[in-house]
Structure 1
């Protein structure tokens, strides 16, 4: 599928009919719009859980809109332990995702050694379309930032990996960092 024939991510999520699952596998992301908050958290331990601040209104609105259509949204994260400051921050702000209705689980990396995993984080929409995310070594987006595929082998790998991680994962409210 060519990059130009695929909708942007919000359109893609708006087109989901049953499921939207996301697997994250990095211990640190360096996405520019999070840098200030992460730096503050690393220095002070302070977090901003205001759902109207920064990028949250757009994301949480999209989540709520998607869930209102009956789509189930699940997010799983594979993390090294002890966790990085980034994961500590991410765990703290995940309360906003959960409050919006996303289901989130965490899997310690030591429990993922025997799982066949794709090489990149991904979203899987309705078990038919995978969107891979590409990041630099420092964790920032790499242009164009993602790739979409409906290739049955890639989609099957993503589905199997996600479901295995999900089964082994610890629900957000029970996982401590």
Structure 2
């Protein structure tokens, strides 16, 4: 395994990127979500309230005002897990702040040969590969600036964004079937 650094050591990229920040989410759920009150309320059939003043959304709005763009593709199972449903239910607040969030079925992601790991890609030149353990907890990240690996991530991003559907569209279908 490559040397890992704590996630907090790369968080400056979220404020400093100039053009694009892209996230690929491949997990069936995240420990940080499951431990939160919003997830517990969601599991009790309470819709998560938007959080426009959450620091994430404040930063997304600020970057959007500067002409920069956040986007992400969430790979989901059929049927989606509780964790994936929660992420779709909370996406509207992020989208309202200016983030482009899309959903892609896992089978389609596999056909496209997308990576099977979470990652961030900043300005098509810095790749952050997330290392997440079996409990869905981030144990560290790998900072990659190798041009070949970054190019592969750019190709994966482009394929994922082209194939994925808007989160709100997918959530409306999933929600009506639950």
Q: Which TM class, normalised by the smaller chain length?
A: 0.7 to 0.9
CA distance 1:50–1:73, shift in 2 (3 Å): closer
Distance 2:103 2:35 in 1: 20
Task: Please state how far the C-alpha of 1:113 moved relative to its aligned partner.
Answer: 2.1
Given that 2:48 and 2:89 are in contact with CA atoms closer than 8 Å, whether structure 1 keeps it comes out as: no
Cα RMSD, aligned residues only: 2.2
Counterpart of 1:46 in structure 2 is 46
More helix by percentage: 2
Query: 1:73 deviation in Å?
Result: 1.4
How many aligned residue pairs are there?
A: 169
> In 2, distance between residues paired with 1:28 and 1:99?
23
Q: Which runs of 5+ in 1 are unaligned?
A: none
In the TM superposition, residue 158 of structure 1 has moved relative to its aligned partner by 1.0
TM-score w.r.t. the length of structure 1 is 0.85
Runs of 5+ unmatched residues, structure 2: none
Residues 8-87 of structure 1 correspond to what in structure 2 (within 5 A)?
A: 8-31=9-32, 34-42=35-43, 44-51=44-51, 57-87=54-84
Q: Which of residues 125, 130, 144 is equivalent to 2:122?
A: 125
Q: Structure 1 runs of 4+ off > 4 angstroms?
A: none
- Aligned-residue offset at 1:134: 1.5
Distance 1:154 1:119, change over 3 A: farther
Pairing 1:167–2:152 present? no
Contact 2:114 2:160 in 1 (8 A): no
- Superposition deviation, residue 9 in structure 1: 3.6
Q: How does 1:96-175 map to 2 (within 5 A)?
A: 96-142=93-139, 145-175=140-170
Structure 2 CA distance for partners of 1:98 and 1:122, relative to 1, 3 Å: same
Q: Kindly indicate whether the alpha-carbon contact (under 8 Å) linking 1:118 and 1:157 is maintained by their aligned counterparts in 2.
A: no
